[in-house]
Structure 1
Amino acid sequence: MLEATCHCGSIKIRVETEPRWLTICNCSLCRRLGTLWAYYHPSQVSFVEGAGRTVAYAQGDRTLEIHHCATCGCTTHWESVEKRNAQRMAINARLIDPGKIREIPLRHFDGAESFTYLD
Protein backbone atom coordinates (compact mmCIF):
# COMPACT_ATOMS: atom_id res chain seq x y z
CA MET A 1 0.00 0.00 0.00
CA LEU A 2 1.15 3.53 -0.84
CA GLU A 3 -0.17 6.76 0.66
CA ALA A 4 0.30 10.21 -0.87
CA THR A 5 -0.17 13.14 1.49
CA CYS A 6 -0.03 16.86 0.78
CA HIS A 7 2.19 19.03 2.99
CA CYS A 8 -0.55 20.10 5.42
CA GLY A 9 -2.23 16.66 5.57
CA SER A 10 -5.62 17.84 4.31
CA ILE A 11 -5.43 15.47 1.33
CA LYS A 12 -4.48 11.81 1.73
CA ILE A 13 -4.68 9.42 -1.20
CA ARG A 14 -4.18 5.67 -0.89
CA VAL A 15 -3.50 2.96 -3.48
CA GLU A 16 -3.06 -0.73 -2.73
CA THR A 17 -0.43 -1.52 -5.36
CA GLU A 18 2.76 0.04 -6.68
CA PRO A 19 2.59 1.40 -10.22
CA ARG A 20 4.63 -0.35 -12.93
CA TRP A 21 6.61 2.87 -13.40
CA LEU A 22 6.66 6.55 -12.47
CA THR A 23 6.51 9.19 -15.19
CA ILE A 24 8.46 12.42 -15.42
CA CYS A 25 6.83 14.66 -18.05
CA ASN A 26 8.38 17.74 -19.64
CA CYS A 27 5.17 19.40 -20.81
CA SER A 28 4.74 23.08 -20.04
CA LEU A 29 2.76 22.35 -16.86
CA CYS A 30 4.42 19.24 -15.42
CA ARG A 31 7.93 20.66 -15.69
CA ARG A 32 6.81 23.72 -13.73
CA LEU A 33 5.01 21.64 -11.10
CA GLY A 34 7.86 19.14 -10.69
CA THR A 35 5.42 16.23 -10.54
CA LEU A 36 6.18 12.53 -10.75
CA TRP A 37 3.09 10.66 -11.96
CA ALA A 38 1.87 7.21 -10.89
CA TYR A 39 -0.98 5.97 -13.09
CA TYR A 40 -4.04 4.03 -11.91
CA HIS A 41 -7.58 3.21 -12.87
CA PRO A 42 -9.85 5.56 -10.85
CA SER A 43 -11.36 2.58 -9.03
CA GLN A 44 -7.90 1.80 -7.55
CA VAL A 45 -7.53 5.22 -5.88
CA SER A 46 -9.03 6.03 -2.48
CA PHE A 47 -9.19 9.44 -0.85
CA VAL A 48 -8.64 8.82 2.85
CA GLU A 49 -8.86 12.56 3.58
CA GLY A 50 -10.04 15.46 1.47
CA ALA A 51 -12.22 13.83 -1.18
CA GLY A 52 -13.80 16.63 -3.19
CA ARG A 53 -11.78 19.33 -1.41
CA THR A 54 -9.07 19.87 -4.00
CA VAL A 55 -8.98 22.69 -6.53
CA ALA A 56 -8.92 21.73 -10.22
CA TYR A 57 -7.16 23.44 -13.10
CA ALA A 58 -7.96 22.35 -16.68
CA GLN A 59 -5.29 23.46 -19.12
CA GLY A 60 -4.85 23.37 -22.89
CA ASP A 61 -7.30 21.02 -24.58
CA ARG A 62 -9.26 20.76 -21.31
CA THR A 63 -9.28 16.97 -21.15
CA LEU A 64 -7.47 16.71 -17.79
CA GLU A 65 -7.96 18.42 -14.47
CA ILE A 66 -4.79 18.93 -12.44
CA HIS A 67 -5.76 19.06 -8.74
CA HIS A 68 -4.03 20.72 -5.80
CA CYS A 69 -4.69 21.16 -2.10
CA ALA A 70 -6.58 24.38 -1.40
CA THR A 71 -4.64 24.88 1.84
CA CYS A 72 -0.97 24.15 1.11
CA GLY A 73 -1.02 24.16 -2.70
CA CYS A 74 0.59 20.75 -3.30
CA THR A 75 -0.34 19.16 -6.62
CA THR A 76 -2.12 15.95 -5.65
CA HIS A 77 -3.43 14.22 -8.77
CA TRP A 78 -4.96 14.56 -12.20
CA GLU A 79 -8.14 13.07 -13.50
CA SER A 80 -10.17 13.20 -16.67
CA VAL A 81 -12.57 16.11 -17.13
CA GLU A 82 -15.04 13.49 -18.37
CA LYS A 83 -15.49 11.35 -15.22
CA ARG A 84 -17.88 8.86 -16.77
CA ASN A 85 -15.97 5.89 -18.21
CA ALA A 86 -12.58 7.40 -17.28
CA GLN A 87 -9.93 4.71 -17.59
CA ARG A 88 -6.95 6.44 -16.03
CA MET A 89 -5.87 8.99 -13.49
CA ALA A 90 -2.57 9.78 -11.83
CA ILE A 91 -1.41 10.65 -8.36
CA ASN A 92 1.64 12.80 -7.71
CA ALA A 93 4.21 10.33 -6.39
CA ARG A 94 6.25 13.24 -4.98
CA LEU A 95 3.71 13.11 -2.13
CA ILE A 96 4.68 9.52 -1.25
CA ASP A 97 7.48 8.68 1.18
CA PRO A 98 10.57 8.51 -1.09
CA GLY A 99 11.76 5.30 0.55
CA LYS A 100 8.59 3.52 -0.59
CA ILE A 101 9.04 4.37 -4.28
CA ARG A 102 12.83 4.19 -4.57
CA GLU A 103 12.82 0.93 -6.57
CA ILE A 104 10.05 1.85 -9.02
CA PRO A 105 11.45 2.51 -12.52
CA LEU A 106 11.29 6.07 -13.90
CA ARG A 107 10.18 6.82 -17.44
CA HIS A 108 10.63 10.14 -19.19
CA PHE A 109 7.67 11.32 -21.25
CA ASP A 110 8.08 14.00 -23.91
CA GLY A 111 4.85 15.91 -23.39
CA ALA A 112 6.42 19.01 -24.93
CA GLU A 113 7.01 17.75 -28.48
CA SER A 114 6.67 14.12 -29.55
CA PHE A 115 4.11 12.95 -26.97
CA THR A 116 6.00 9.67 -26.57
CA TYR A 117 8.13 7.99 -23.94
CA LEU A 118 11.83 8.64 -24.52
CA ASP A 119 13.03 5.21 -23.46
Structure 2
Amino acid sequence: MTLDCFCGGVRVTTVKKPEFLHACNCDLCRKSGARWGYFDPSEAAIDGQTSSYRRHDKPEPAVDVHFCPKCGSTTHFRLTERAASTFGDTMMGVNMALSDQADLVGVELRYPDGMAWSGEGAFGYTRESRILGPDG
Protein backbone atom coordinates (compact mmCIF):
# COMPACT_ATOMS: atom_id res chain seq x y z
CA MET A 1 0.00 0.00 0.00
CA THR A 2 1.15 3.54 -0.66
CA LEU A 3 -0.01 6.50 1.44
CA ASP A 4 0.82 10.16 0.95
CA CYS A 5 0.55 13.18 3.21
CA PHE A 6 -1.74 15.99 2.05
CA CYS A 7 0.96 17.83 0.07
CA GLY A 8 2.68 14.69 -1.22
CA GLY A 9 5.99 15.50 0.46
CA VAL A 10 6.00 12.32 2.55
CA ARG A 11 5.16 8.89 1.19
CA VAL A 12 4.68 5.77 3.31
CA THR A 13 4.77 2.38 1.62
CA THR A 14 3.71 -0.79 3.42
CA VAL A 15 4.09 -4.36 2.22
CA LYS A 16 0.54 -5.31 3.25
CA LYS A 17 -2.71 -4.08 4.77
CA PRO A 18 -2.69 -3.79 8.55
CA GLU A 19 -4.47 -6.56 10.46
CA PHE A 20 -6.59 -3.92 12.24
CA LEU A 21 -6.71 -0.17 12.89
CA HIS A 22 -6.92 1.77 16.13
CA ALA A 23 -8.98 4.96 16.36
CA CYS A 24 -7.71 5.89 19.82
CA ASN A 25 -9.43 8.58 21.89
CA CYS A 26 -6.33 9.86 23.73
CA ASP A 27 -5.56 13.54 23.21
CA LEU A 28 -2.54 12.91 20.99
CA CYS A 29 -4.26 10.46 18.63
CA ARG A 30 -7.54 12.36 18.56
CA LYS A 31 -5.92 15.73 17.84
CA SER A 32 -3.60 14.30 15.18
CA GLY A 33 -6.49 12.59 13.39
CA ALA A 34 -4.65 9.28 13.27
CA ARG A 35 -6.04 5.82 12.60
CA TRP A 36 -3.09 3.64 13.44
CA GLY A 37 -2.16 0.48 11.59
CA TYR A 38 0.76 -1.44 13.10
CA PHE A 39 3.72 -2.91 11.27
CA ASP A 40 7.15 -4.30 11.91
CA PRO A 41 9.57 -1.52 10.90
CA SER A 42 10.85 -3.75 8.08
CA GLU A 43 7.33 -3.74 6.55
CA ALA A 44 7.09 0.03 5.99
CA ALA A 45 9.27 2.57 4.22
CA ILE A 46 9.14 6.33 4.71
CA ASP A 47 10.18 8.59 1.83
CA GLY A 48 10.49 12.32 2.45
CA GLN A 49 11.52 14.49 5.35
CA THR A 50 9.49 14.40 8.56
CA SER A 51 9.56 16.26 11.84
CA SER A 52 8.64 14.55 15.08
CA TYR A 53 6.91 15.26 18.34
CA ARG A 54 7.33 13.49 21.67
CA ARG A 55 4.46 14.17 24.03
CA HIS A 56 5.25 16.12 27.19
CA ASP A 57 2.30 15.01 29.31
CA LYS A 58 3.78 11.56 30.04
CA PRO A 59 6.84 10.98 32.23
CA GLU A 60 8.26 8.42 29.77
CA PRO A 61 6.67 8.78 26.32
CA ALA A 62 6.86 5.58 24.29
CA VAL A 63 6.63 7.02 20.77
CA ASP A 64 7.91 9.77 18.53
CA VAL A 65 5.04 10.90 16.30
CA HIS A 66 6.20 12.00 12.84
CA PHE A 67 4.51 14.50 10.57
CA CYS A 68 5.13 16.37 7.33
CA PRO A 69 6.78 19.71 8.14
CA LYS A 70 5.12 21.32 5.11
CA CYS A 71 1.43 20.33 5.43
CA GLY A 72 1.37 19.01 9.01
CA SER A 73 -0.14 15.59 8.21
CA THR A 74 0.65 12.97 10.84
CA THR A 75 2.37 10.13 8.98
CA HIS A 76 3.68 7.54 11.44
CA PHE A 77 5.21 6.85 14.81
CA ARG A 78 8.31 5.02 15.97
CA LEU A 79 9.08 3.74 19.44
CA THR A 80 11.40 5.95 21.49
CA GLU A 81 14.86 4.61 22.25
CA ARG A 82 13.77 3.75 25.80
CA ALA A 83 10.65 1.89 24.66
CA ALA A 84 12.58 0.03 21.94
CA SER A 85 15.22 -1.03 24.46
CA THR A 86 12.46 -2.45 26.68
CA PHE A 87 10.19 -4.02 24.05
CA GLY A 88 12.49 -4.32 21.05
CA ASP A 89 12.23 -2.28 17.87
CA THR A 90 9.39 -4.45 16.65
CA MET A 91 6.55 -2.02 15.97
CA MET A 92 5.75 1.19 14.20
CA GLY A 93 2.41 2.83 13.62
CA VAL A 94 1.32 4.18 10.25
CA ASN A 95 -1.51 6.70 9.98
CA MET A 96 -3.84 4.76 7.72
CA ALA A 97 -6.15 7.78 7.50
CA LEU A 98 -3.76 8.87 4.73
CA SER A 99 -4.70 5.85 2.59
CA ASP A 100 -7.46 5.54 0.04
CA GLN A 101 -10.59 4.24 1.78
CA ALA A 102 -10.97 1.51 -0.82
CA ASP A 103 -7.61 0.04 0.26
CA LEU A 104 -8.95 -0.61 3.77
CA VAL A 105 -12.19 -2.41 2.93
CA GLY A 106 -12.46 -5.48 5.15
CA VAL A 107 -10.05 -4.22 7.84
CA GLU A 108 -11.28 -4.18 11.44
CA LEU A 109 -11.47 -0.73 13.10
CA ARG A 110 -11.07 -0.83 16.89
CA TYR A 111 -11.74 1.98 19.37
CA PRO A 112 -9.24 1.79 22.25
CA ASP A 113 -9.83 3.91 25.34
CA GLY A 114 -6.46 5.62 25.37
CA MET A 115 -7.79 8.33 27.68
CA ALA A 116 -8.20 5.75 30.45
CA TRP A 117 -5.16 3.59 29.61
CA SER A 118 -2.38 3.68 32.22
CA GLY A 119 0.30 2.73 29.70
CA GLU A 120 0.53 -0.82 31.01
CA GLY A 121 -1.42 -3.91 30.06
CA ALA A 122 -4.14 -4.24 27.47
CA PHE A 123 -6.41 -1.47 26.24
CA GLY A 124 -10.04 -1.24 27.21
CA TYR A 125 -12.35 -0.25 24.36
CA THR A 126 -14.99 2.48 24.17
CA ARG A 127 -17.27 0.58 21.78
CA GLU A 128 -17.53 -2.47 19.56
CA SER A 129 -15.17 -2.75 16.63
CA ARG A 130 -16.46 -2.73 13.06
CA ILE A 131 -15.28 -3.91 9.66
CA LEU A 132 -14.59 -1.07 7.22
CA GLY A 133 -16.65 -0.94 4.05
CA PRO A 134 -16.26 1.17 0.90
CA ASP A 135 -17.35 4.34 2.75
CA GLY A 136 -14.78 3.96 5.54
Asked if TM exceeds 0.5, the reply is yes
In the TM superposition, what is the alpha-carbon distance from 1:102 to its structure 2 partner? 2.5
* Higher strand proportion: 1
Does 1 or 2 have the higher relative contact order (CA < 8 Å, sep 6+)? 1
Q: Distance in 1 between matches of 2:13 and 2:114?
A: 26
Alignment check: 8 A CA contact 1:107 1:117 kept: no
Hey, what does 2:69 align to over in structure 1? 70
In the TM superposition, what is the alpha-carbon distance from 1:31 to its structure 2 partner? 1.1
Aligned residues: 115
TM-score after normalising by structure 1:
0.89
Q: Distance in 2 between matches of 1:111 and 1:33?
A: 14
Q: Confirm whether residue 56 of structure 1 aligns to residue 52 of structure 2.
A: yes
* Closer, same or farther: CA 117–102 of 1 in aligned 2, 3 Å: farther
Query: Unaligned regions of 5+ residues in structure 1, if any?
Result: none
* Higher helix proportion: 2
Q: Identity of aligned pairs, percent? A: 30
Hey, what does 1:24 align to over in structure 2? 23
**Bigger CA radius of gyration:** 2
Q: Distance in 1 between matches of 2:21 and 2:107?
A: 7
Alignment RMSD, CA only?
1.5
Q: Confirm whether residue 100 of structure 1 aligns to residue 103 of structure 2.
A: yes
Query: Unaligned regions of 5+ residues in structure 2, if any?
Result: 129-136
In the TM superposition, what is the alpha-carbon distance from 1:34 to its structure 2 partner? 1.6
